[in-house]
Structure 1
């Protein structure tokens, strides 16, 4: 995930305090990252979405599984299938 700016505490014992900011594209990510210098990067990460996010409540499992953006978020957040 080359475009992910991870929180410094992500993946540590303090990861439950972390927040992932999702932006609409790279330019919005740049703006968000510039604002983070004021509040710090320990618990805040930023990831730019490439397009409108899929509404997974209305999509079939196969459509969700085939959606690259949703799969990126699942991996970034460390979610696992049950």
Structure 2
């Protein structure tokens, strides 16, 4: 019974970790697709900064998915998806 519980919890953690890594990787793709000028026009941090934030977050999620720094990374990627991406989404290359 105890072994089943730890295995189940391990699978839940693995699922959370995989979802967080994919979320950050999708953020990298979306950040790379928008033109660099859109970030400055909208008054956001530069494109390389957001790509780096999402890449660093993906790496952190892959290494240590449920730590305090991962919570900070979740907030950073969340800010990208909630604030930055909607602002730069309409611009074309």
Q: TM-score, normalised by structure 1?
A: 0.28
In terms of Rg, which structure is larger?
2
The structure carrying a bigger strand percent of its residues is 1
Larger RCO: 1 or 2 (CA < 8 Å, sep 6+): 2
